[in-house]
Every structure is written in C-alpha cells, then in structure tokens.
Homo-oligomer: A and B are copies of this chain.
Amino acid sequence: MKIQEADAKSLLAAQGLPVPPWAVARTPAEARAAAERFLAHGAGRVVIKAQVLVGGRGKAGGVKLAGSPAEAEEVAGRILGMEIKGIPVRKVLVGPAAVIVKEFYLGAILDRASRRIVLMASAEGGVEIEEVAKATPEAIHRVEAHPLLGLLDWQARELAFAVGLAGPHLRDFVKIAKGLVATMRANDADLVEVNPLAIIRESGPEGHVERLACLDAKVTLDDSALPRHPDLEKLRDLDEEDPADAEARHYDISFIHLDGSIGCMVNGAGLAMTTMDLVNRAGGAPANFLDIGGGAKADRVSAAMRLILADPKVRAILVNIFGGITRGDEVARGLIDARARQEREVPMVVRIVGTNAEEAARLLREAAFETAATLDEAAAKAVAAAGQATGGAA
C-alpha cells in the first residue's frame, strides 16, 4: 500500500528522524493559515506540494514555493485544482522551504534477490533515482543490512563515506540510516525512501548551522502485514482509491481496474495475468485483473461478478477457474446465482477444470452457460462475444 508523503513523514518522525515541520491543507484557506504560521516562525518562504500517490508531481507543476500567505493561498488554489496523471489533487502539504546546501538520496528497500534489506545512497539526490541508476550506476552505493541484526553502525558509516559525508554529519547519517530500517520494521514497510536527504542551512542564535534533514519521504507498506497494523490501515487514501477496491478488499479479492471490455474472473494471480495475456493475444482487451483467491465460495464469486459488472465498459466476461483448493462446483453455483440477480445482461464464457469440474460442467450445462475446454478457446470465445456485444470488432 502506498501512503501520502505527509503520512510517510509522520512515520519517520515517530522513529526520531529529523523531518522539518509540515501541515496538510485541503483548501487554499488552510494553506494560507499554515503558511502564515511557518512564515511567522522564521521561514523565508514556504513550499506547497501536491499530495498524490503517483510520481512526477514536480514535473507536473505540483510543487511550488510561495513567499507570502497570500501567494501561498493562490498557489495552493492552483495545485488543488490540478489533476496529476489523472488523479485530482485533494490535499497539499505546506512547510517551511529549506535552504539546501547539498542533496542526497537514501532509501531502504526489501530486496528479493539478496533476501535482505538493502540500503542505497547516492550523492546525486533530489532527482529520479531510477535515472541515476541508468546513467551512472556507480553513483549509487548499497549495503545489505545484516539479515538478523539489521543495519549495523559500520555499514551505515560505509554508506556515509561513500557519498562524501563527514564531520558532524557522519553520526547523524548513521542515525538516519538506522532510522529508515527502524521505520521499515516498525511498520512492515517494503520501501522507505528519503529523496532528498539534504544538508540544510538554518540560522540560529549563534549564526548559521548546517544539519541533515529528511525533506521528502516515500513509504510503501507490505499488504500482508496490514492486519497487524490497524493504525496503518487508516492511512489508506480513500480519496484516491477506486470505490470498487474497498469492496474487493472486503471479500479478499485482488482487483485492478483496466481499460478494456472483457471482464475476467480467475483464481490465482499468475493464471489471472495469463488470462489477460491470452485475451490480448486473441485481439481483445481485459477490463480488469481479478483474482478470487484460493477456496472461493459462492458469495465471493457473486461479489466478483458485481465488481466486474459495475464497469459499464464490460461487454463480455471470461471466467477461468483451475480447481485445486477451489471447488469448481462451488464456483458454478456462485455464477448461476450471480447471473440470476444481475441487472445487466452480458455474454459470459466459463471454463472450469480441476477439482469437481464434472459437477461444475453439469451445473453450467443445465444453466445454459457458454463453456470452453481450454484457456485459449475461452479467450477466443470471450473476445468474439465482446465484439458481437459492441456490434463491431473488439
């Protein structure tokens, strides 16, 4: 699960990491009030940042500075009216604009290949790290945290030296790097990124001081671990979520909305992707990815059918079930039940093999469902049906 920058910063701050203050505003007036506070407390300017879960908001004009409360209100108004990659901006983050001396990248990710938490750091901070990785891979330094002991001080120091940090920043960097791993562990995150981690200059009673601060934060959470973090589940941004997603989650269905016309219902993620691939190969386009999971019962099948039919673009439905834990007859009954109650008539092609497939075949035959023996055949039939339903080519 992705969470917003402001929430990610809260998680970092909870682990004691140096995150400058911020406020979240949902209206230009709230942004103005926040800007007033920060400007009154010594900030020269404020930064206003769109809170959206998609990347590239900077390029899209979603990050701006303002020098006065009035300007903050005006800028926030503009950003709150934007769409970024199709997502309307509903919130902005307001904070004091930092005086940046130097920017770094620091990220902790769960790395599948090494089966470790890997810390990556670069002196090329503040830009898309993927681009750095492509152009100058040697500019990204990495250490693998000890699988049982976590990130050790010396490992963090090696990263610090690699990106050229020294003096007073050395100890702070070690704390921050360990703090990223602590944030991962405390929240079961699979990614915690600070980009930029920056040396910022602040003026205090004794003149200028320079210190490290986390100016941005990106955290993604392990969905499997959310049940043990009820507080984190609350960070899910329902503003940005497809309403169908909540229903899917309720029924333990994996569901992703796509742009095509053929609704898919499959058991198993790999088979669901394969089904989509074969629909494409047969000349169609899937309307969704939908995995009803293992051992699905009739009620889950009904819910899946509702999710698929809620999309007006759907012109045909392909059901592909390879029974293992899942019993084919259960699915067939669910389908029959769902069709009886559905409001919209859509052609459906059903393929059920594996556990209790014979009983399923009998039920489907009696209910006059269109069936298919192989996945390739099912895909071809569904594409054809969708083409007929739209009165033309699929």
Residues of A at the B interface (CB closer than 8 Å) are 148-149
**Cα-based distance from A374 to B74 in the complex (angstroms):** 90
Contacts of A148 in B (CB 8 A): 148-149
Give the dominant DSSP class at A's interface: loop
Q: Which residue of chain B has its CB nearest to the CB of A148?
A: B148
- Nearest CB in chain B: distance from A147 CB, A: 9
Contacts of A149 in B (CB 8 A): 148
* Stoichiometry (number of copies): 2
**Cα-based distance from A372 to B143 in the complex (angstroms):** 58
- Nearest CB in chain B: distance from A233 CB, A: 24
**Cα-based distance from A149 to B148 in the complex (angstroms):** 7
**Cα-based distance from A149 to B149 in the complex (angstroms):** 8
- Nearest CB in chain B: distance from A318 CB, A: 44
**Cα-based distance from A149 to B146 in the complex (angstroms):** 12
- Nearest CB in chain B: distance from A150 CB, A: 10
**Cα-based distance from A141 to B148 in the complex (angstroms):** 27
**Cα-based distance from A248 to B149 in the complex (angstroms):** 37
**Cα-based distance from A149 to B150 in the complex (angstroms):** 11
**Cα-based distance from A148 to B148 in the complex (angstroms):** 6
Q: Which residue of chain B has its CB nearest to the CB of A147?
A: B148
- Nearest CB in chain B: distance from A148 CB, A: 4
Q: List 2 A-B contacts (CB under 8 A).
A: A148-B148, A148-B149
- Nearest CB in chain B: distance from A253 CB, A: 32
**Cα-based distance from A148 to B149 in the complex (angstroms):** 7
Q: Which residue of chain B has its CB nearest to the CB of A149?
A: B148
**Cα-based distance from A148 to B150 in the complex (angstroms):** 11
**Cα-based distance from A148 to B152 in the complex (angstroms):** 14
- Nearest CB in chain B: distance from A116 CB, A: 14
- Nearest CB in chain B: distance from A168 CB, A: 23
Q: Which residue of chain B has its CB nearest to the CB of A146?
A: B148
**Cα-based distance from A158 to B127 in the complex (angstroms):** 53
- Nearest CB in chain B: distance from A152 CB, A: 12
- Nearest CB in chain B: distance from A29 CB, A: 47
**Cα-based distance from A186 to B148 in the complex (angstroms):** 18
